[in-house]
Amino acid sequence: MYMTTKIKLLSIILVFTALASCKTSQLKHASAPEMGRFKVAILYPNEENVTFDMNYYQEKHMPMVAGFLGENLRFYEIDKGIAGRTPNDKAPFVAIGYFYIKDIADYNEAITKNREAIISDFKNYTNARPTLSISEIMQVQPNPIKGKD
């Protein structure tokens, strides 16, 4: 009886550990840039009198555009500008949004199809005029120095 209970407990622990490690592994790979993929950067300049509602951008605008991109989208990121070249310099961009995509043609098709909805939503979070940059990811190199996060 004692051995049966011990084996069941050990089995439960092993299954739980296996499931937890699978989920952790998936999360790491799901959010890693990949060589040969593409990155779309939307840069919002931090100019005089620029307004930007980060909460709206995070909760409404970026998820809306991500929905338009569908399966082509690997993941997206949002950066909030905090400083420039030095800590005392003003951030050149108030925010930068990134979409990591598989195919540029599919991206262009989705954006063109939903252009009006995307542009008309700008007024809900900013008066800035964003700049767009599309690039190919050429190298992904982890930091060779292992340290604490």
pLDDT in tens, 58-117: 999 999 999 999 999 999 999 999 999 999 999 999 999 999 999 999 999 999 999 999
Q: What are phi and psi of 44, to 5 degrees?
A: -105, 105
Beta carbons of 97 and 77 less than 8 angstroms apart: yes
Mean pLDDT of 33-56: 93
Confidence of residue 149 (pLDDT cuts 50, 70, 90): low
Q: Alpha helix (H) ranges present in the chain?
A: 2-30, 54-56, 62-69, 104-113, 115-121
Instruction: Compute CA distances 3 → 7, 88, 95, whole Å.
Output: 6, 65, 59
Q: Where are the domains of the chain?
A: 34-136
Residue 132 has pLDDT above 60, yes or no: yes
Whole-prediction pTM = 0.75
Confidence of residue 148 (pLDDT cuts 50, 70, 90): low
Q: Which CATH number fits domain 34-136: 3.60.21.10, 3.10.110.10, 3.40.50.300, 3.30.70.100?
A: 3.30.70.100
